[in-house]
Amino acid sequence: MSEFASRRVMMVDTQVRPSDVTKFPIIDAMLSVPREVYVPDDRREAAYVGENLAIGAGRVMLEARTLAKLLDALDIQPDELVLDLGCGLGYSAAVIAHLADTVVAVEQDEAMAADAQRLLSEEGVDNALVIAGPLVTGAPKHAPYDVITIQGGVETVPESLLHQLKDGGRIGAIFMDGALGTAMIGFKSEGGVSWRSSFNATAPVLDGFRKARAFVL
């Protein structure tokens, strides 16, 4: 077993399984996808640390525990279409591609989006498409989606994104309140989305997902 493969097993055994993530498809995906491939070359040695990992452009790759628990709560099925917002260099899209039928990933940094598509192609992930564009715009051309994931913190989620979610679909995001955060799962029914708390997590708030600040005299 290679050094990185050993680290991947240790990541699952020490960060994912102890967090009550037991669904086999998620465990299998996180054991199979080489996390070190989807980080900048100078961060490869840090790919398996148990914290959010800076990947450039002010962005992070979510820690394995957070991503795994988010996917566990979303319960993605093999026949579902997933919108992955803020895929960075493609790791989250690669993991989700193991669980879903198709992944449409959006990354607003054009260079990062191009690298993500290249890395996914090189790794043989042929059911994931990366689109460069504003995260808050989503990818309405391919909607509606069964599941939407947001790979970073939010203070609010635009209605325009919720409109891209299929009735009966789910959305997962980390809602930040200052330094504190809670992963929430939204369930869409009859056109509306109801949110439920899932677990504590933190991540930098993504561009376009901050609440408008009220002017105070």
- Each residue's pLDDT expressed in tens, for the chain with a length of 217 residues: 689 999 999 999 999 999 999 999 999 999 999 999 999 999 999 999 999 999 998 899 999 999 999 999 999 999 999 999 999 999 999 999 999 999 999 999 999 999 999 999 999 999 999 999 999 999 999 999 999 999 999 999 999 999 999 999 999 999 999 999 999 999 999 989 999 999 999 999 999 999 987 655 5
203 burial (CB, 10 Å; 0-12 / 13-18 / 19+) is buried
**What is the DSSP code string of 70-123?**
HHHHHT--TT-EEEEE--TTSHHHHHHHHHSSEEEEEESSHHHHHHHHHHHHHT
Q: Please indicate, yes or no, whether the overall pTM of this predicted structure exceeds 0.75.
A: yes
Task: Classify strands 145-154 and 81-85 as parallel, antiparallel or unpaired.
Answer: parallel
